[in-house]
Amino acid sequence: MHIVFLEIDTEAEWAVCSLGPAFLAGVAREAGHSAELLRIGSDWTNEHVVRMVSKREPDLLGMSLTSRQWLRGREIAGLLREAGDWPMIAGGLHATFSPERVLEAPGIDAVCLGEGEAPFVALLAHLSSGGQIRDASLRNIWVDGGTHPGLAPPIPEIDSIPFMARDMLDEHPGVVHMATQRGCPFPCTYCAARMYDQLYEGIGSYGRRRSVENVMAELTAIANAGPLHYVIFLDDTFTIHHPWVFEFCEVFPRKAGVGFSIHARAETMNPKLIDALAQAGCKHVVYGVESGSERIRRDVMKRPVSNDRLIDVFRRTREAGIMATANYMLGIPGEKPADLVATMELHSDLRPLDFGYFVFYPFPGTQLFELCRQKGYLPEKWEEMPARHDRSILDLPDLSPEDITNAYAKWGRIREAETRARTVVTRN
């Protein structure tokens, strides 16, 4: 069978593609099937979408969806169903945590819930033997018109999963993206990563990490196939298990010897670990700060880390020669105007080299989504509203849309001022 995975671009001109299709393409090819990626540009016309899909003659279409991709993905699925009779399956975060809504969309015949490698191979075997996607009876595969299929346990030996199919990621030459773990032990209320662990409660352990040896084997294979200049580790928190990280820091310089970046939480960092990461070649750490209000982080987001700890970790990261990026949210349920100011004040104390700022969006499956629904913060037609970085869809009691819009604009001015200041320093 020939599978075409559709990557739905929304706002970004370039970003790494969804990791799910890269893993699925790896297991599909191992089972004797072919797979390719079609990136649907944000400026593509309907006619161009249909033409490019038809040209590839797919036996099955796959679409990995985040909530930000959902509205455009739904539109494209309906468009393709009108143009041809290609069966389509959707997976990813949005399909896993809002499956009923996704199955209502014309053109989507099934959703894959949770971890997809084994269920996807089983579905391909079913289709190859003459079955239809809508008569599949497989765990994790919820077909349109059917009932919840139940979940198979996660693959216990994560090292047994084939490496990602690199051609599915649309990476820049020499810059590769890696994932070393699945699941997250932290109870953050705004993030769906933890919800995967809860999805599998009573079924199996979703939280697993590849061995350092397995990670290095993949990097060696990449280096043997082409240039390897930099590695971006996409794990939500790379620094979870310190013995693993210290082993990695010992082996990585000898086996790979290139720069790399990670995502981390300040709660998981200490001076010894920061120094080990720096000596191993870490050039960049992205820290999730989220809010400058300790009350919001502790009581709303379940992130009980103090501002003093954040300031100290950012300082130590700078002193180790590692660039630090801070990510912030605004428009969080429970936030007041003073909390928006507190985040900007903390930013001044953190002094990150760069920062991202995003308006909070309640992703289905998260605890904050449920809170917003229970308290009536979600508008009646929230599912028809795009999930954007720069505006809120919520009706919050303590923040007006103007409060959020003005704060977002102020973050833009802060970025411009800091960029100008860095430019002056560089020129001097």
Q: 13 pLDDT exceeds 60?
A: no
Q: Which amino acid is at 385?
A: M
Residue-wise pLDDT for 134-191, tens only, equals 999 999 999 999 999 999 999 999 999 999 999 999 899 999 999 999 998 899 999 9
User: Using CA atoms, how far apart are residues 185 and 318, in angstroms rounded to an integer?
Assistant: 27
Q: 327 pLDDT exceeds 90?
A: yes
Q: 2-143 has which fold?
A: Rossmann fold (3.40.50)
3-state SS record for the chain: CEEEEEEECCCCCCCCCCHHHHHHHHHHHHCCCEEEEEEECCCCCHHHHHHHHHHCCCCEEEEECCHHHHHHHHHHHHHHHHHCCCCEEEECHHHHHCHHHHHCCCCCCEEECCCCHHHHHHHHHHHHCCCCHHHCCECCEEECCCCCCCCCCCCCCHHHCCCCCHHHCCCCCCEEEECCEECCCCCCCCCCHHHHHHHCCCCCCCCEECCHHHHHHHHHHHHHHCCCCEEEECCCCCCCCHHHHHHHHHHHHHHCCCEEEEEECHHHCCHHHHHHHHHHCEEEEEEEEECCCHHHHHHHCCCCCCHHHHHHHHHHHHHCCCEEEEEEEECCCCCCHHHHHHHHHHHHHHCCCEEEEEECCCCCCCHHHHHHHHHCCCCCCHHHCCCCCCCCCCCCCCCCHHHHHHHHHHHHHHHHHHHHHHHHHHHC
Better-scored residue on pLDDT, 426 or 115: 115
Residue-wise pLDDT for 211-241, tens only, equals 999 999 999 999 999 899 999 999 999 999 9
User: Using CA atoms, how far apart are residues 318 and 323, in angstroms rounded to an integer?
Assistant: 6
Lowest mean pLDDT among 104-108, 134-138, 192-196, 357-361: 192-196
Residue-wise pLDDT for 17-43, tens only, equals 889 999 999 999 999 999 999 999 989
Q: What pLDDT shows up at residue 428?
A: 57
Banded model confidence at residue 264, pLDDT cuts 50, 70, 90? very high
Q: 287 pLDDT exceeds 60?
A: yes
Mean pLDDT of 260-280: 97
Q: Which amino acid is at 223?
A: A
Residue-wise pLDDT for 401-422, tens only, equals 999 999 999 999 999 999 998 8
Percent of the chain with pLDDT over 90: 89
Q: Which amino acid is at 224?
A: N
Q: 55 pLDDT exceeds 80?
A: yes
Task: Give whole-number Cα distances, 254 to 249, 262, 273, in Å.
Answer: 9, 19, 18
If you average pLDDT over every residue of the chain, what do you get?
95
Kindly state which CATH superfamily the domain 171-427 is placed in: Aldolase class I (3.20.20.70)
Domains in the chain: boundaries: 2-143, 171-427
Total Cβ atoms within 10 A of residue 89: 26
Mean pLDDT of 264-277: 97
Q: What pLDDT shows up at residue 16?
A: 73
Residue-wise pLDDT for 357-383, tens only, equals 999 999 998 999 999 999 999 999 998
Strand partners, 181: 209
Better-scored residue on pLDDT, 18 or 292: 292
